[in-house]
Amino acid sequence: MEDRPKLLILYATQTGNALDAAERVAREAERRACLVKLLSMDEYDVSSLPYEGTVIFVVSTTGQGDTPDPMKVVFWRFLLQRHLSKDWLEGVCYGVFGLGDSGYQKYNFVAKKLDKRLSDLGAMAIVEKGLGDDQHPSGYEAALDPWMLSLWSMLNRINPKFFPHGLDFAIPDMKLVDQPKVQIAYHGDDKVDSQVPPNSDNLLDLKWIEIPMERARSMSRGKFTNVKNRPDCFLKMIKNQPLTRAGCGKDVRHFEFEFVSSAVEYQVGDVLEVLPGQNPSAVDAFIQRCNLDPDAFITVHHRDMDNHLLQSCTIAKVPIRLKDFVELTMDVASASPRRYFFEARTLYV
């Protein structure tokens, strides 16, 4: 069989946008019959970078110009090592797309730092770095679309085998949409372990919140890092005060929390990931609308990308009550659908 190059896409996200953007790049590449491998940076062995042909990086900036968690601990520290030579990445082609907000002083700092470091290590940029900006009326996608067009054209130029049928070829949308990202397996009561409380109303006992939360997170790819399935602590909100006037277009609030479990240490600029409870009637309405059984026990399995299985899949086998999964991982009342949702919807109307 002809040896075809594969496009490696590495992403690092704090709150999911860079995952969305990376998936979009992957989908658009696949649509053009390009072979793709999509991984979070913490799923990739960074020491293999010199052996890659072409790598696309999709990274957001968090905190005060900080790298997202999946990039911070291993990937970025490794790249910053002084002993790496100027030609360590010679022969590697790359492209960087950053997600940021120009309202911050260190706008898209991570994408800029990464681009510079890759170039300092001898890699060759095949496309000028793209910088997505939350402040743009169309969000980061305003920059992503033109950046992708340049990317396809440059990839085709450096190696036409990326697109064996040429750049005008496109796999029909319906065929791509037909591959679900996740599979839901339903389980009979006999498979459900007795750790699950018969009645989860007993919210005072933190263990009964922690167990389903850990299970839900282990089955929710991209939202939470693999090591962060267990919350660091539980908080009680003691103050929720609006700082903006009603109707001004923004809703900025002052919150105060009190620790109800052990306290955590933090510094200015740290990101606090809050998992608020959802309105129970919104959750019930969503489940009813989708004609689902709230008390069914499920496991959620992610589509295997290039035979790569999530580490968390091993613990993802413990079933969770459907209602708990919806409550703990899906924002049913206020999430705004991304553009891909509407793109996919048009195929079914």
Ligand X SMILES: Cc1cc2nc3c(=O)[nH]c(=O)nc-3n(C[C@H](O)[C@H](O)[C@H](O)COP(=O)(O)O)c2cc1C
- Return residues touching ligand X (CB under 6 A): 13-18, 60-65, 68, 99-101, 104, 106-109, 134, 140, 271
Q: Which is nearer to ligand X, 7 or 144 (CB)?
A: 144
Least Å distance between CB 65 and ligand X? 4
Q: Which is nearer to ligand X, 15 or 156 (CB)?
A: 15
Per-residue tokens: 74: 């291993």
Q: Which is nearer to ligand X, 104 or 257 (CB)?
A: 104
Q: Which residues pair with 255 in a beta bridge?
A: 240
How far apart, in whole angstroms, are the C-alpha atoms of residue 29 and residue 25?
6
Least Å distance between CB 249 and ligand X? 18
Give buried/exposed letters for 78-117 (b at 16+ CB in 10 A, else e): ebeeeebeeebbeebbbbbbbbbbeebeebbbbbbbbbee
Q: Which is nearer to ligand X, 67 or 299 (CB)?
A: 67
Least Å distance between CB 70 and ligand X? 10
Q: Which is nearer to ligand X, 13 or 299 (CB)?
A: 13
Least Å distance between CB 14 and ligand X? 3
Residue type, 260: V
* Residue 330 buriedness (CB in 10 A; 0-12 / 13-18 / 19+): middle
Best CA proximity match to 216, nearest among 194, 198, 231: 231
Q: Which is nearer to ligand X, 17 or 220 (CB)?
A: 17
Spatial contact of 184 and 300, defined as CB atoms under 8 Å apart: yes
Q: In 219-337, which ranges are continuous DSSP H helix? A: 280-289, 322-329
Spatial contact of 308 and 187, defined as CB atoms under 8 Å apart: no
How far apart, in whole angstroms, are the C-alpha atoms of residue 111 and residue 289?
41
Q: Which is nearer to ligand X, 63 or 212 (CB)?
A: 63
Q: In the chain, which ranges are continuous DSSP H helix? A: 17-31, 69-71, 77-79, 109-120, 141-158, 173-177, 206-218, 280-289, 322-329, 339-346
Least Å distance between CB 15 and ligand X? 3
